[in-house]
Amino acid sequence: MAKNTSLYFRIVEGRNLPAKDSGTSDPYCIVKVDNEVVATATVWKNLNPFWGEEYTLHLPMGFHSLSFHVMDEDTIHDDVIGKITLTKEAIGAQAKLDCWLNLTKVDPDEEVQGEIHLGLELLKDTEKISLRCQVIEADLAPRDISGTSDPFTRVIFNNHSAETSIIKKTRFPHWGETLELELDPEELREEEGTVTVQVWDWDMVGKNDFLGKVTPQLEGWFRLLPLGNNEVDAG
């Protein structure tokens, strides 16, 4: 695929969508190239929505996949109806695609949640041993039609943890913070010791929502992974 590629696509319509709200749904479609996102208008109370919307997206050379998520808009939390994912190879193999595609079920907590930019450093001196983690910034996947969260990051090593500040209403938080965990020398001799970085969406009323986690190595951008279980924020 060429270095600079534009993809034209038209989201035409859906049919026989499942009812999420009292016999109907309020569907809209989110289109994602990795973490670049566009969203259609919502078609209210309709299981056979017609959108007829056209878009052109720039495809970066290193992109992983193109996905279409059909969502049901709600007042509090939007529901996922289903998705279609097209890989880079599938898109490159055909110049044009025009057909009906079956939606597959999706669990939002099984999706890659975005990327986070981190730096790790182990500091040793005569008095203490510290693990320093630079939490720089993140590019988070949207959770609903608003496209924003109130994210903060938690760094965990064994029984030690530290958190960044909360950044309100953004999908692209820039923390630029350095978190430091003071460690016992014995902990470094334990092979099971692992650094985990979690990103959470802060909620003033209910529990915080999990946004993704990663086990980083040194410095760079890391793809945030899903929970893998029904982990609940204990903080």
pLDDT of residue 41: 93
pLDDT of residue 111: 65
pLDDT of residue 3: 58
Return d(Cα 98, Cα 148) in angstroms, integer: 32
Whether the predicted pLDDT of 234 surpasses 60: no
Whether the predicted pLDDT of 4 surpasses 70: no
Residue 81 CA, distance from chain mean position = 17
Collapsed DSSP state (helix, strand, coil) of residue 83: strand
pLDDT of residue 94: 77
What is the CB-side half-sphere exposure of residue 58 using CA atoms within 13 A?
4
DSSP code of residue 24 = B
Q: Please, what is the average pLDDT of the chain?
A: 82
The architecture in CATH of the region 5-93 reads Sandwich (2.60)
pLDDT of residue 51: 96
Return d(Cα 90, Cα 94) in angstroms, integer: 7
Question: Alpha-carbon torsion 185, 187, 213, 216, what sign?
Answer: positive
Spell out the domain ranges in the chain: 5-93, 114-223
Rounded to 10 degrees, the C-alpha dihedral 16/64/200/171 comes to -90
pLDDT of residue 223: 75
Of the candidate ranges 27-31, 102-106, 148-152, the one whose mean pLDDT is the lowest: 102-106
Query: What's the pLDDT band for 175 if we cut at 50, 70, 90?
Result: very high
- CATH class, domain 114-223, is mainly beta
Judge contact between 117 and 93, C-beta under 8 A: no
Whether the predicted pLDDT of 191 surpasses 60: no
Return d(Cα 202, Cα 121) in angstroms, integer: 27
Return d(Cα 126, Cα 37) in angstroms, integer: 50
Collapsed DSSP state (helix, strand, coil) of residue 134: strand
Per-residue pLDDT tens over the stretch 211-225? 888 888 777 777 777
* Domain pair 5-93 / 114-223, same fold: yes
pLDDT of residue 115: 85
pLDDT > 70 in the chain, percent: 84
Whether the predicted pLDDT of 96 surpasses 90: no
Collapsed DSSP state (helix, strand, coil) of residue 88: helix
Whether the predicted pLDDT of 146 surpasses 70: no
Whether the predicted pLDDT of 145 surpasses 70: no
Span 1-10, mean pLDDT? 72
Sort strands 27-33 and 65-72 into parallel, antiparallel or unpaired. Answer: antiparallel
List Cβ neighbours of 165 (8 Å cut-off, separation of 6 or more).
Answer: 152, 175, 177
Return d(Cα 102, Cα 97) in angstroms, integer: 14
